[in-house]
Structure 1
Amino acid sequence: MMEIVGLLISLVILYFSAEGLVSGASSLAKRVGISPLVIGLTIVSVGTSAPELVVSIKAALHGQSALSIGNVLGSNFFNIGLILGLAAIIYPLAVKRQLLKLDVPVMILTTLLFFLFFLDSVISRVEAFIFIVMLVSYMAYLLVSSKKKNMKTQDSDSEKETHLEEGIRLNKHWTLDILLIGVGLLGLVYGSDLLVENAVIIAARLGMSESMIGLTIVAAGTSMPELATSVVAAVKKRADIAIGNVVGSNILNILLILGVAGFIQPISAPDINYIDSLFVIGISLLLWIFMKRGIRITRWQGVAFLLFYLVYFSFKLSPV
């Protein structure tokens, strides 16, 4: 009974924390001249990926590698299947050209690279270091290119984005932006930690294996910040933050989380089936295909993501 109460409290904390984070991040983006999309791909994604980072490092250090890998794979699938699916149903998500040309291809590349590295069921320190180098390069490119793009005010795309940002409410002072982001992130980390703690207790009582708990319960729990943030962003019609948060988090989950966790302690998880990686690759490619088809992710495509997730979840729960 107490675990159920803890779950409900954690969901309330996550919702209000996400409200503060979206508000602060949107205002800060407008104030400093960095696009909301890049804010979603960097600041918001790092913050909402913090629970996965903490859980995966703890799991790796305590010899629970299946939980660590399962958490990352399960979170990435959950992020697109359930989070983007729900966000698109709430409000069709406009697709920025940068996402199609850079960020989603980078997400697919990192997922494929993980698949290749993990064919032997191990992430070595060398492979983890490659992830970290890729992460630093990607983040640096995002920030530098965003600042350059904002300097070219005559560019038509920049003018469109400036018009789009007119709908963002600017907070009274930049310190309030930082405060909202900071408190929002802390709330998301605490709320997700509370959710995972109670969810794992319930799952363990039901007799679920470590890899199964990582791929489902823990993955869903640590993805609650992304869910709360993207749903709130969709309700506020901030599609750039809603999509940027998910795509950025999926990239960070592999490059940052497995990079840091694997560098501290090589990760070995023979219990994780390669089929889980193929599911993540498949839904990532589906996102790219949907983006290629039009200027927005529509409601029916959101439903397709949800159905894809339900098929995967049914597959994981099947006794085979």
Structure 2
Amino acid sequence: MSAGLLLAGLVLLVVGAEGVVRGGSDLASRLGVPPLVVGLTVVSLGTSLPELAIGLSAVRDGAGELAVGNIVGTNLVNTLLVLGLAALLAPIRFEARTLRHDLPAGALAAVLLFVLARDGALSAADGLWLTAFGAVYLASILLSTRGARAAAPKSHRDVRAPVTVVVLLAGLAAIVLGAELLVDGAVDIAQRLGVSDAVIGLTVVAFGTSAPELVTAVVSAVRGERALAIGNLMGSNVFNVALVLGPTVLAAPTAVPVPDDVLAGDLLLMVGATLACVPVFWTRRGLSRIEGALFVGAYLVYLATLLATRA
């Protein structure tokens, strides 16, 4: 039963995120918003909704460690696995604003989370700091791209606006229900196997909630929409830390615990991987297939170590 709930939750999260991304992208395109901005805002926020729904459900059920583990695990998947796989499909070239704006924002968000979590817990004040950082980041995107326009694709113009709204609302509903089912199933499995909520969040739940980013990155790479794919990944990493974990901590009845092994291991690795991207991306203004393979290999080593020592 627990495995069935977890699987059903994952399916609903992926389907719901797809609906949100499609509906949101269509609305943004109708307004003439450029692809990179769509990726950094609408798509990133849409693919981060599963993490937010899971986080809120987890803290309500007293499983705060799962919420923290999910964010750390998801960002590791995004940075190393998803971005690496995208580069393996086709070498990535970064736009100037990604290098100057989104990459530093991701590094700052990771460092801020580590600093706030050093005492072993995230308080309401910490949640406020994270949320404020996310709000400033989102505002900076909108201000820096003000006045930019892009023609809506014909495929978007052919879709009626009411249909778009229905798809968007149905996607949101699926995400909320999917998160509830996934958290219930994951927590029950963790308790039965004696595995911590944090490890479940770092692995099973992280993979599930990263599915929308993975699908978006692969499809965008195949279709040649590189700006949308990279904007989605960069934006999602910032939003996960700031506008997902921040509000989750604020909604928690008490401080959200950050286990010592997560703080000294997984979170530290997330910060290191994010900071390592800065010189790597700036040196070549992109990511080659070889570098993508190294990213994927690094994640597989981390995953194998995690499962061997803490599962």
Letter in 1 for 2:227: D
What is the 5 A alignment of 1:1-320? 23-150=22-149, 169-172=155-158, 173-187=160-174, 190=177, 198=185, 204-265=191-252, 266-271=255-260, 272-319=262-309
Deviates more, 1:194-203 or 1:75-84: 194-203
CA separation in 2, counterparts of 1:168 and 1:133? 37
Letter in 2 for 1:94: R
Answer yes or no: is the 8 Å Cα contact 1:192–1:225 preserved in 2: no
Change in 2 beyond 3 A, CA 1:203/1:270: closer
**TM-score, normalisation: structure 1:** 0.82
Q: Provide the alpha-carbon RMSD of the alignment.
A: 3.0
CA separation in 1, counterparts of 2:64 and 2:179? 20
Shift of 1:168: 7.1
CA separation in 1, counterparts of 2:197 and 2:139? 36
Letter in 1 for 2:147: K
Letter in 1 for 2:47: T
Answer yes or no: is the 8 Å Cα contact 2:117–2:263 preserved in 1: no
CA separation in 1, counterparts of 2:130 and 2:203? 24
CA separation in 1, counterparts of 2:19 and 2:60? 32
Shift of 1:306: 1.0
**TM-score, normalisation: structure 2:** 0.84
Change in 2 beyond 3 A, CA 1:73/1:210: same
State the secondary structure of the residue aligned to 2:259.
Answer: coil
Letter in 1 for 2:84: G
Answer yes or no: is the 8 Å Cα contact 1:14–1:228 preserved in 2: no
CA separation in 1, counterparts of 2:184 and 2:216? 21
Shift of 1:102: 0.5
Letter in 2 for 1:261: T
Answer yes or no: is the 8 Å Cα contact 1:57–1:261 preserved in 2: yes
Letter in 1 for 2:243: L
Letter in 2 for 1:98: R
State the secondary structure of the residue aligned to 2:224.
Answer: coil
Unaligned ranges ≥5, structure 2? none
Other-structure match for 1:153: none
